[in-house]
Each structure stands twice: as C-alpha cells, then as structure tokens.
Structure 1
C-alpha cells in the first residue's frame, strides 16, 4: 500500500470545502441498480419443440448415435 499517496489524499480531502466534499462523495457513491431476476419456464422458450414434427428425431439419442457413427466411420 502506498502510504504517501494515502496521506496525500487525506490531506487533500481534509482541505476540501463542504460543497467539494459533497461533490466528491456523490462521484464516489456506488450506483446500485435494482434488478429483479425473473426466472422463466424453459418450456415457454421458442426453441423448445422445434423438431417435434421430425420423424427421424423421434428418438433423439438414437439419432445422435447414428449421426456420430456415420461421421466417425466415413
């Protein structure tokens, strides 16, 4: 830690007028953003069910196995 810098800052801050201190405090104040986390139901996402009409993907695990086998053996 740079003690000289800190001592210098303390001295500068101590010499500020009330108005300058208020201004400094406002600039240093952490802005808190109020955000509400809204959890959505994954079933409501547009991508859910996009392949429901594909007969070749009725058993998705089998489909993946078949595609992998075709890719890895060719």
Structure 2
C-alpha cells in the first residue's frame, strides 16, 4: 500500500485493513489499528507502520481501547 492508501483506510476506519498495518500519532504517542474509534488525527501527525515490532517501535504505546497490550501486527507489507 502507498501512504495515501494507508491514510484513506484510517479516514474510512476500514475494517478490511484491520491488523495489516498500524498508524501512530506523533502528538499523542499512541498507535492504533485502522478501524480504531478514536478521534481522527491530523494527517501531518500520522505515521504508518506495516510491521511494528518491539524491536523497531520508536516509543509509541498501543491504544488501550483497541489494542491489547503487547499486540504487534505480523503481516508485513511494504510502504
């Protein structure tokens, strides 16, 4: 997926994209899945990770309302 496709999945809260990537929000320091019911972030604050792992996580925490602590997607795709 391209970055604009990731963003559109977030805007649409696309359930088909669930667990295929996560998005992180710079201003809040959290990461979430595309269908997350949280408030939509500003586009300039959104970062996309096709495979966020404990090893490459730049310090974001999971959103407690959607992602159980310790969940990391395992379906790698390319940006």
Q: Whose relative contact order is higher, 1 or 2, with alpha carbons under 8 Å and at least 6 apart?
A: 2
Per the TM superposition, whether the score is higher than 0.5 is no
In terms of Rg, which structure is larger? Answer: 1
Q: Which has the higher helix share?
A: 1
TM-score, normalised relative to structure 1: 0.19
Using structure 2 for the length normalisation, give the TM-score.
0.19
